Amino acid sequence: MSSIFSKIVKGEIPSYKVAETEDFFAFLDINPLAQGHTLVIPKKEVDYVFDLDEETYTGLWTFAKKVGKAVESVVPCKRIGITVIGLEVPHTHIHIIPINSIYDMDFKRDKLKFSAQEFHSVANKISKAYNKL
Ligand code: AMP
């Protein structure tokens, strides 16, 4: 059965898309820790990041760097925090989170709420920034 993220890649489930290449996809986390909290995934469905083949693994981090730079150019922050957890969705994903303190990476915190319009607006801004890099 396809993961929820594979369904997002195929357009079967909606997402706030930020960027896409032939092999990778980036979209806003629906329960964000910060505005612009983005998930970066390989289209290839592999649960655990360290089980990715070498080419997909290195390509994913290269893609994440570009997406991260786009996010930080749009959302004011000290830097981008990156983490891989994957206990909820069994499809490798890198969290890209604009942070100002270590507290901003605390997944036990209440998640932020944004309207669909706010999600769309920030996704569009990040997407435009990504396309200029
Ligand atoms: P984890 O697997 O622990 O890294 O957490 C999965 C992350 O995916 C969480 O931050 C969720 O908010 C996020 N998530 C789950 N479903 C969706 C979805 N349909 N669209 C965007 N983000 C999602």
Ordered structural domains, the chain, with CATH: 4-132 (3.30.428.10)
In whole angstroms, give the CA distance from residue 56 to residue 58.
6
Mean pLDDT by 10 residues, the chain (133 residues): 94 97 98 98 98 98 98 98 97 98 96 98 98 97
pLDDT of amino acid 1: 75
pLDDT of amino acid 50: 98
Which ligand 1 atom sits closest to the C-alpha of 85?
A: 4
Which ligand 1 atom sits closest to the C-alpha of 29?
A: 22
For a pocket test of ligand 1, which of 27, 31, 45 has the largest count of ligand atoms closer than 8 A to its C-beta?
31
In whole angstroms, give the CA distance from residue 128 to residue 19.
9
Query: Which residues does residue 81 pair with via DSSP β-bridges, in sequence order?
Result: 97
pLDDT of amino acid 107: 96
CB contact at 8 A, 66 and 95: no
Query: Which residues does residue 42 pair with via DSSP β-bridges, in sequence order?
Result: 24
CB contact at 8 A, 102 and 49: no
Active site residue 91: no
Which ligand 1 atom sits closest to the C-alpha of 86?
A: 2
In whole angstroms, give the CA distance from residue 47 to residue 20.
20
For a pocket test of ligand 1, which of 27, 29, 49 has the largest count of ligand atoms closer than 8 A to its C-beta?
29
Identify the residue whose C-alpha is closest to ligand 1 atom 17. Answer: 30
Q: Measuring from each residue's beta carbon to the nearest atom of ligand 1, which residues come in under 6 Å? A: 4, 13, 15, 29-31, 39, 85-89, 93
Global pTM reads 0.98
